[in-house]
Chains A and B, each alone.
Chain A
């Protein structure tokens, strides 16, 4: 055997071996490998996409403008307090869209206001000014900073919640300017996950306005400084939902940001779960003061605008502990504890994309894909063997090598296999013999033209080479574009298609050539089975 032949066989042998080793972790066989193998050799293999293993793919839009609005609200309140504290200044502050305006009675007051704002609130800039009033707006940079911070914080909060919820290998990343991409593989209860992630979780303690007439409030006549909220009640037996209207004071006495710990406990008397919360030192002091001042009044515990419970304050509560009761199920209580621990989102989020795949569909898809791959392979193998006989069989072997190496390459790159990715592999099976067909047809032509077998083979490979390159490059261009612009499943298709095409160059040009060279090197062939 010629030396170059040996080298080429060795190269093919090694490639196949490496492919097997790389693909091994993706098979059930891997679990029975010895321990040293699992640590030294590739051990990650091919990841299954969400469409194959089941799970959730969410894109959340953070309504960052709301975070800006909240900040502006708070700052304007401070400014308003500061300005009214100024001696002799007669000023009126009115909140505007993303800023405020100060109306002054006289020039001195106006200058005082200008001085104060420019000293203490440098994030505001003058929008317009007339003799009696100045209108300020929050600068674009500051708005952008607040939005950015809100999105980062939302990301962090959601990550915390998911970590505590317990999902294996979640993906939580920023997506675009104001979106968050969340992928939860194999999540069992999608609804619960969405409730947990999407909850803004702003907890507020508000006094119930007992003087107000609830019926009037429902009709639209709500007292100034108060608001109408509902307490949701679910009957355990009938699952019937009832809403109890309640008028509460608009100003929250306290909010949930002082909570340090929240956990589920069981009420011994009714055997019902509740959430026990612990406040930090500021919170404890505040809570003590509030409960002391409002003894015998009702305090509503409000989460995202819904009243959970509204107990009567029996006495001053010190020690920084409180309970949130409500008609919870065990799971609801657990999730409430999670969101209270992880904290509130700085702005509400809306789900703009939710793709959930159940585990059974994923398995069905894998099974159907494998069946289609096997059928396609058998048909192509049979056709090639019948049409090109021995040469066809050689091409078939190269095609199988192509698929083996493709799987190996996917394993080596820890690529994510999606359903379209499986389609890409099957397409590769069909296209893998393409190059060899080109070569074989060329060889046939050369033989018809009267060349010897050996030179016909060489000419066939040489002349078909350019065409094969052209054909592969055009496919690679489309695959590259698909990879760049496609979403998850489509990317998987682009990856398997482009890897398949590249590997095909090797198996078709090197893999089959070496067999022909071996055949012609032993003896001079008079006929070729093609």
Chain B
């Protein structure tokens, strides 16, 4: 039979200090991103911030600087431009107050007048008022809170409380890591990205649950072994499974990221990152937390 690992015997718990250092950096990045978001300095999508986006598809390639010049000359300032060069697409984004006027129409008109010999069609246009963004931010926060609460309750119900807390910390870690990486890459933080965060949170939890299931089973089966040994043994036993499952989901996500089209691209990238971080965290974050917690308790008793 084909195996990635033949009887692996890796001391995962022993490497926890390195893991905690790496994870600390991840969480720090995520917290910085959160802080920047809360003070409005992050690249927020218009669904949260309000504003206008127009995506145009041209017949011929369109130079970014000319497009920007045309917009500036016609009174649309501070537009952010992004091109999808492969099929001559241009995305224009303006953070404006939508109720003030029809900026989307204005942008379309500017391009059809200035580039009369390079015809364009409107792929999509979105205008979102500031109140909508505010409501959405509020709803999103509630959704994330409820999701986290439900997960803690379920895990606490199925396992011991400390497993629930450890799993939640691992999920939090994964979400923070992906958020931090997205912030560093200056990717847009929009509703689709939040969806990806919630989904990868659920996915990472699944990964953690599999490891925890085995730890629980082995704690009962091997009462004489120390906590660290039981956890190491459990992780090693499910290592193939953890890696194989991540790999298959990764194959699907990478396909989506590479050829799934521009609309879904960032979502797929976030999921891909999430799967990688989620796999790492179930081994190097969730399990060591359970180890430390149990060890501390045992130390007191002994």
Contact = CB atoms under 8 A, between A and B. Distances in A.
A371 B259 contact: yes
A387 B245 CA distance: 12
Interface stretch (A112-120, A298-306, A431-439): A431-439
B70 interface: no
Interface residues of A, number: 71
A433 B248 contact: yes
A384 B241 CA distance: 12
A354 B199 contact: no
A466 B57 CA distance: 51
Interface stretch (A31-39, A141-149, A311-319, A483-491): A483-491
Contact of A482 (B195, B213, B247, B264): B195
B248 A380 contact: yes
Contacts of A487: 136, 191
Contacts of A3: none
A386 interface: yes
B151 interface: yes
A351 B191 contact: no
B195 to A, nearest CB: 5
Contacts of A364: 123, 261
B127 A353 contact: yes
B252 A358 contact: no
B210 A383 contact: no
B156 to A, nearest CB: 13
A352 interface: yes
B43 interface: no
Nearest to A373: B255
A474 B209 contact: yes
B264 A475 contact: no
Contact of A470 (B136, B209, B253): B209
A356 interface: yes
Given A386-B2, A441-B238, A474-B151, A423 B264 contact: yes
Given A356-B126, A444-B1, A475 B251 contact: no
A420 B270 CA distance: 13
Given A375-B255, A471-B210, A474-B209, A361 B124 contact: yes
Contact of A430 (B198, B201, B253): B253
Interface in B236-275: 237-238, 240-241, 244-245, 247-253, 255-256, 258-261, 263-264, 267-268, 271
A497 B252 contact: no
Nearest to B238: A441
Interface string B204-247: 01100110010000000000000000000000011011001101
12 contacts: A51-B263, A61-B129, A368-B264, A375-B255, A434-B245, A437-B245, A441-B240, A471-B210, A477-B154, A481-B147, A481-B198, A493-B199
Interface of A: 51, 59, 61, 190-191, 350-358, 360-361, 364-365, 367-369, 371-373, 375-376, 379-380, 383-384, 386-389, 419-420, 422-423, 426-427, 429-431, 433-434, 437-438, 441, 444-445, 466-467, 470-471, 473-475, 477-479, 481-482, 484-487, 489-490, 493, 497, 530
Closest 9 CB pairs of A and B: A368-B261, A430-B252, A478-B202, A430-B249, A352-B129, A376-B255, A485-B143, A372-B260, A376-B252
